[in-house]
Amino acid sequence: MYSFIARRIAIAIPTILLLIVFSFLLMEAAPGSPFATERGVPPEVLANLEKKYGLDRPLIERMGIYVWNVVTQFDFGPSFKFKDRTVNDLIAQGFPVTLTYGIWSFVVAVAVGGTLGVLAAIYHNSWLDYLAVGISIGAQVLPNFVMAPILVLIFTLWLGWLPGGGWRGGQWEYLILPVIALSTSYMASIARITRSSMLEVLNAGFIRTARAKGLPMRRVILRHAMKPALLPVISYLGPAFVGMITGSVLIDVFFSTGGIGQFFVNSALSRDYSVIMGITILIGTLTVTFNLVVDILYAWIDPKIRY
């Protein structure tokens, strides 16, 4: 077990380093300068600017400095467009917002999707089952960028119940639409996976044994069926997390939450390299770490997995 964890960590760390180096080199390869303006900058000024941001040093040295700063101090350097702010400032401002509704979405997707899937399997071929199957098929074609405008159209413009954007420090009514828009398609996938694995488990021999010896249904499901049925769901958590963190970019932009995704897209449009790099690396690190945790969790729960 410990050697498995060690080996997984030994893969995760180079992955993150590679991501840092890759995005650094990519930005180096970019044509055009962040200081380019329509009127052009006098060469002396340009030289000064480059000196200030350390762009006059050789490539390897700059890469070394960048990687070192990121790894040891989580310092992504200054933003090229917001003159007086660093990338860290922007992240510190936007990340809590994204994290707040991101966690809510994740919780909603897992809790609602899992419950729906389990219930659908227990009441197989009932109206509840058909409802769950219907939702999970329908939600396949409702990715976040389809859900978001539809939700705003219905709940903001027609019914006028909820605000169609903004944040206001994360009051609950500003949270609802982003959370629904972000979580729906993952909720549906989780419901589908839970349902099919629960059905499989409920037909297994050990469940028949448990029922034959007279255990009440509730106990059979909670004690015996639940754990093996949830295993496939755990392995889906990694992809779901990646999907949601990607989707959050769109939610941030569409609902103007002021989250990290808004900075990402704005800096992508204005070629603010250090911000894009910083956010990509942050998200990449988060993803790799999360996948690591899920893998270890999975290996810990399922003894069948080979280390």
Partner 1 sequence: MVAQLGTAEDNVEAAGMEPVRGRSLWSDARQRFFANKAATGGLVVLVLVVLFALFGQTVAQWSNEEIDWSLLGNIPQAGGPSIANGHYFGVDETGRDLYARVVQGSRISLMVGIVGALISVVVGTLWGAVAGYVGGKTDTVMMRIVDLMMSIPYMFVLILLLVVFERSLVMLFIGIGLISWLDMARIVRGQTLSLKNKEFVEAAIATGVRTPTIIFRHIVPNLLGVVIVYATLLVPSMIIFESFISFLGLGVQEPSTSWGALINMGASNLRNETPWMLGFPLAVFVISLFAFFFVGDGLRDALDPKDR
Q: Where do the DSSP E strands lie in the chain?
A: none
Give min distance, CB of 153 to partner 1, in A: 6
Residue 14 burial (CB count, 10 A): 9
Are 5 and 304 contacting, i.e. CB atoms less than 8 angstroms apart?
no
Record the tokens describing residue 70, joined without a space.
Answer: 């990121």
Q: Whole-angstrom Cα distance, residue 261 to residue 280?
A: 10
For partner 1, which residue of 49, 122, 146, 301 counts as binding (CB under 8 A)?
Answer: 146
For partner 1, which residue of 271, 293, 296, 301 counts as binding (CB under 8 A)?
Answer: 271
Q: Whole-angstrom Cα distance, residue 238 to residue 287?
A: 8
* Residue 18 binding partner 1, by CB under 8 A: yes
For partner 1, which stretch binds (CB under 8 A), given 102-110, 171-179, 226-234, 274-282?
274-282
Write the DSSP string, 160-199: --S-SS--GGG-HHHHHHHHHHHHHHHHHHHHHHHHHHHH
Interface with partner 1 in residues 121-140 (CB under 8 A): 137, 140
* Nearer to partner 1 (CB atom), residue 89 or residue 200: 200
* Nearer to partner 1 (CB atom), residue 88 or residue 136: 136
Which among 257, 303, 264, 304 has a CA at the least distance from the CA of 283? 264
The count of chain residues that interact with partner 1, using the rule CB under 8 A, is: 49
Looking up tokens 């889906």 gives: 236
For partner 1, which residue of 131, 153, 217, 222 counts as binding (CB under 8 A)?
Answer: 153
Under the rule (CB under 8 A), what is the footprint of partner 1?
Answer: 11-12, 15, 18-19, 22-23, 26-27, 29-31, 137, 140-146, 148-150, 152-153, 157, 164, 242, 245-247, 249-250, 253-254, 264-265, 268-269, 271, 276-277, 279-280, 283-284, 287-288, 291
